[in-house]
Every structure is written in structure tokens, then in C-alpha cells.
Structure 1
């Protein structure tokens, strides 16, 4: 029972940042497009980013395709961290380290899977 609670908590805590980030990008769509453009990233990627964050966050939360989802989100964390926070400023260094730490946590899901209960468990 304890392991089941831990599995759900781990997935929920990791998923929350992606779900909330995806939702906030929908709410602030034009501002996010402008920010992406200012950072040299093509804003046409924004719908894909939203889909990855929302879809990946929900898939992780419910434990569906957990290993694949976690691998994709880990790669996203590294790439977005380097693109948006890799400029060497102290505040951005902290955000980059946060992204790298999240990637490390996600890699643990790649190794172990969702745990139970999850949609991955039939």
C-alpha cells in the first residue's frame, strides 16, 4: 500500500509542473510566442510544446506509456533548459539546474516505470 501511495505521489509531483506550464502557455499564448521569438526559438513550435507538456504531464500522472513519456519529457527538460536558461546568468543557472534535476527524476521513471497503480499495469 505504501509503495502504491509513493508511486502516485511521485508521478503527481513530477507531472504537476508540466500540466501547469502547458496550461499557462495556453492562457498566455501570445506572450509565450513573443518570449520564444525573443529567445531565438521559432514560435510555431508552441502548439507542440503545449501538447508535450499537457499530454506528457497527464500521461505521467496516470502512468500511461510512462517510460516513453518520461524519456520524452527528460529530453524536453534538457533542451528547453539549455535554450532558455543556458546564458550563464545566475537566475537562469538555477532554472537550468532545476530542468536538469527534473530530467534526472524523469530518467528514474524511464528505469523503473510508473509503479502501481497505473494505466501501464494491466
Structure 2
């Protein structure tokens, strides 16, 4: 990454993190409804605390650049699974605008996964806690 674009990485991380943090918070405030929706889709509602933890902790880690590649990898896997279960598969039983809407949501999830793949490939960029750890390791040598 060139220096003149280095400050774009934390903006990208923040925008990616925001969708997970907001989704986790919405699941907390609408816990019963989310749990019911999960069960309706064939996913055990008992997994909701894990889903919330992945979204909130993964989103926060991505936001501050802590264990960034690991967080991005876990969020990417989560996003593909969630998109498949809650958007792609249901779209097969739909027609018209309903099917189109679900496919748009699935493609959105794939696009988010693409952004996370960029984070995995190129690292956290500027303004990341991972950089502090790297700098302190170099200074200790």
C-alpha cells in the first residue's frame, strides 16, 4: 500500500466493522425476535449468544486493528455461512422481487467477504493496534 493511501485502511476497517457491530447490537435489542427467526430458518436459537459474540468482538477487533487478520478471517467465514443460510438458500423457494431481494443480500455478504479478504491479504493498515505490537517487538530486538 502506498503511503498516500495508507490512511484509507482504517476507514475501510471501520466501515466493515460497523456492519458487524450494528448487527450484534440489533440482535441484543431484538433478542427474542432474532432467536425466533433463526429457529424458523432451521438454525438453533441457542447459537444466538455465539453469533452476537462473533459480530461484536470480531467487529470491535476489526475496528481497532487487533488481531486483524484473524478477526477478518473469522468474520469472512461467518458472513459466507450466514449469507448462505439466511439469503441464498431461502431465495430458491421464492420468485420475483422477493427472490431478487434475497440474492442482493447474498451478494452484499459476498462483497463484505471480499473486503475482509483484502484485510486478510494486506493487513490492518494504519492506525491499528497490531502495528503497536509489531513496533514494540522490533524495538525489543
**What TM-score, normalized to structure 2?**
0.83
Instruction: Report if aligned partners of 1:4, 1:117 keep a CA contact under 8 Å in 2.
Output: no
Q: Which moved more, 1:23-32 or 1:84-93?
A: 84-93
For 1:21, the equivalent position in structure 2 comes to 23
Alignment of structure 1 residues 7-46 onto 2, 5 Å: 7-46=9-48
- Give the greater-gyration-radius structure (CA): 2
Post-superposition Cα deviations, 1:39-63, rounded to whole Å, max 9, x if no partner, equal 0100111000000000000000000
Give the paired residue count.
122
Query: What residue is the counterpart of 1:54 in the other structure?
Result: 56
CA distance in 2, matches of 1:60, 1:4: 16
- Equivalence map 1:85-104=2 (5 Å): 85-86=87-88, 87-88=90-91, 89-104=99-114
Contact kept? 1:71, 1:106, Cα under 8 Å: yes
**TM-score between the two structures when normalised by the length of structure 1:** 0.96
Q: Which residues of structure 2 form unaligned runs of 5+?
A: 92-98, 133-141
What is the rounded CA distance, in whole Å, between the counterparts of 1:64 and 1:4 in structure 2? 17
Q: Where does structure 1 differ by over 2 angstroms across 4 or more consecutive aligned residues?
A: 1-5
